[in-house]
Amino acid sequence: MKKVKIKSPANIAFIKYWGQRDKKFFLPYNDSFSMNLSSCYTILEIEIIEEPKIKKLYVKDYDKDKFEIKHDESFEKVINFYNRAKKFLKVKKDYGFIIYSYNSFPKKAGIASSASFFSALALGFSWLFEKKLDKKNLSILARLSGSGSSCRSIPDGFSWWYKGNKSNDSYAVSIAMPSYWDLVDLVLILNKGEKKVSSSEGHQNVETSNLFKYRLLSLEKRIKEIKKAFFKKDFTYFGYLLEEEAISMHSVMMTQKPPIFYWSGKTVELIKKIIEIRKIGIEGYFTIDAGENIHLICQKKDEEKFLKFLKDQKEILQIIVNYPEEGAKFI
Cα separation, 155 vs 285, whole angstroms: 24
Q: For ligand DP6, which residue of 114, 256, 287, 293 counts as binding (CB under 6 A)? A: 114
Alpha carbon separation from 44 to 3, 70, 106 (Å, rounded): 10, 15, 16
Is residue 255 within the footprint of ligand DP6 (CB under 6 A)?
no
* Candidate segments 88-96, 143-151, 229-237, 268-276, binder of ligand DP6 by CB under 6 A: 143-151
CB of 189 to ligand DP6, least distance (A): 16
183-189 and 318-322 as β-strands: parallel, antiparallel, unpaired?
antiparallel
CB of 191 to ligand DP6, least distance (A): 16
Q: Which is nearer to ligand DP6, 18 or 81 (CB)?
A: 18
Is residue 149 within the footprint of ligand DP6 (CB under 6 A)?
yes
* Candidate segments 10-18, 47-55, 213-221, 273-281, binder of ligand DP6 by CB under 6 A: 10-18
CB of 199 to ligand DP6, least distance (A): 3
Is residue 101 within the footprint of ligand DP6 (CB under 6 A)?
no
Cα separation, 59 vs 322, whole angstroms: 23
Q: For ligand DP6, which residue of 7, 16, 215, 227 counts as binding (CB under 6 A)? A: 16
CB of 200 to ligand DP6, least distance (A): 5
CB of 42 to ligand DP6, least distance (A): 12
Q: For ligand DP6, which residue of 7, 17, 40, 141 counts as binding (CB under 6 A)? A: 17
Residues whose CB falls within 8 Å of the CB of residue 165, separated by 6 or more in sequence, listed in order: none
Rg of the chain's alpha carbons, rounded to an integer? 19
Is residue 167 within the footprint of ligand DP6 (CB under 6 A)?
no
Q: Which is nearer to ligand DP6, 156 or 245 (CB)?
A: 245
Cα separation, 186 vs 170, whole angstroms: 29
Longest dimension (CA), the chain: 63
Helix (H) or strand (E) holding 237, with range, is helix 235-255
Q: CA end-to-end span of the chain, whole Å?
A: 14
* Candidate segments 86-94, 99-107, 141-149, 174-182, binder of ligand DP6 by CB under 6 A: 141-149
CA 40, 42, 45: angle at the middle one, nearest 5? 160
261 SS3 class = coil
Cα separation, 190 vs 88, whole angstroms: 39
Residues 25 and 44: beta-carbon distance below 8 Å: no
Is residue 32 within the footprint of ligand DP6 (CB under 6 A)?
yes
CB of 252 to ligand DP6, least distance (A): 10
Helix (H) or strand (E) holding 74, with range, is helix 73-88
The site for ligand DP6 (CB under 6 A) is made up of 13, 16-18, 32, 112, 114-115, 147-149, 199-200, 203, 289-290
